[in-house]
Amino acid sequence: MPGAIVTGWGIAVPDKVVTNEDLSLTLDTSDAWITERTGIKERHIGGTTSGLAIEAGEHALKRAGLTGSDIDLLVLATTTPDAIVPGTSATVQAGLGVAGGAFDVNAACSGFVYALVVAHGMALVGAQKILVVGSETLSRITDWDDRSVAILVGDGAGAVVLEATEGPGELLGWHLGADGELRDLLKCDHGGHLYMNGKEIFRHAVRAVIDSSLIALERAGLTPDDVDLFVPHQANARIITAAAQRLGIAEDRYVVTIDRYGNTSSASIPLALVDALETDRIKPGSIVLLSGFGGGMTWASAVLRWGG
């Protein structure tokens, strides 16, 4: 069956770097605590969700040898839109000169994988060139006096260009899940700040990543042993390690970028994916497992054979 493959990718992060030492000047915390409990060393802070998305999108388009006018669909994953109306995707559409439709997807930290799966589906019904972006400015909904959240978040964006192909597409299997009964574990009301029950999210997150990954792999006819690279949502290095260990995926087969970026919600998986591509950890034919979880709660996994 024809499908779609990634032909371009790019990222954007604000220039300003905030280290753990910087945070410990204003919060009752320390580099040692943050490093040990989360794996985070520093994060980039600043910009706007649309601005970062446009910059990441420009890089991805350039890499694919395309311009915005070639793109017939833009799907933007974000949980920190510039405004309630219009959708941030509209601002990004204008900024990049995208020729086709544009819409936002909000599935919190699972958003990029949701958006990617939706984009593959759109390719099956005729979309030819699709830009998929995950962009966030969590810093704007963070109470910087609340150490339980402030130490975790970062801003950034990652984008991929997906092009329809006559041959087999990249997506071998996927799984999307949600449980709104858990919606109070992580939330931000209109005009408010991010609140999370870290312990409970931690517990559910490990389970969700494992179960969702296994379902997506099974649908692809694969097992964790077949995975060349696991690209998980970067919320806490301990969550990544716990999930990878229980899936039987050794350290050299998963990506950790949280030390540099913190938790960037729907930008975290594309940031990690692009990092892996830029360091040659993904090659044509590589089996890549993406898996995320987040507010909702939601979770999402996708199994790709790179290059189709």
Q: Could you say whether residue 190 binds ligand ACO (CB under 6 A)?
A: no
Shortest distance (Å) from residue 231 CB to ligand ACO = 16
40-79 binders of ligand ACO (CB under 6 A): none
Q: Could you say whether residue 265 binds ligand ACO (CB under 6 A)?
A: yes
Question: Which one of the spans 64-72, 122-130, 190-198, 249-257 is the region binding ligand ACO (CB under 6 A)?
Answer: 190-198
Question: Which one of the spans 49-57, 65-73, 193-201, 244-252 is the region binding ligand ACO (CB under 6 A)?
Answer: 193-201
263: annotated active-site residue:
yes
One of 138, 208, 210, 302 touching ligand ACO (CB under 6 A) = 138
188: annotated active-site residue:
no
Shortest distance (Å) from residue 19 CB to ligand ACO = 14
CA distances from 307 to 172, 239, 282, 289, 304 (A): 12, 29, 10, 14, 9
Question: Which one of the spans 62-70, 90-98, 118-126, 191-199 is the region binding ligand ACO (CB under 6 A)?
Answer: 191-199
Q: Could you say whether residue 306 binds ligand ACO (CB under 6 A)?
A: no
Shortest distance (Å) from residue 128 CB to ligand ACO = 33
Q: Could you say whether residue 37 binds ligand ACO (CB under 6 A)?
A: yes
One of 60, 96, 98, 108 touching ligand ACO (CB under 6 A) = 108
59: annotated active-site residue:
no
Catalytic residues: 109, 233, 263
Residues that bind ligand ACO (CB under 6 A): 29, 33, 37-38, 108-109, 138, 147-148, 151, 186, 194, 196, 198-199, 201-202, 205, 235-236, 263, 265, 294-295
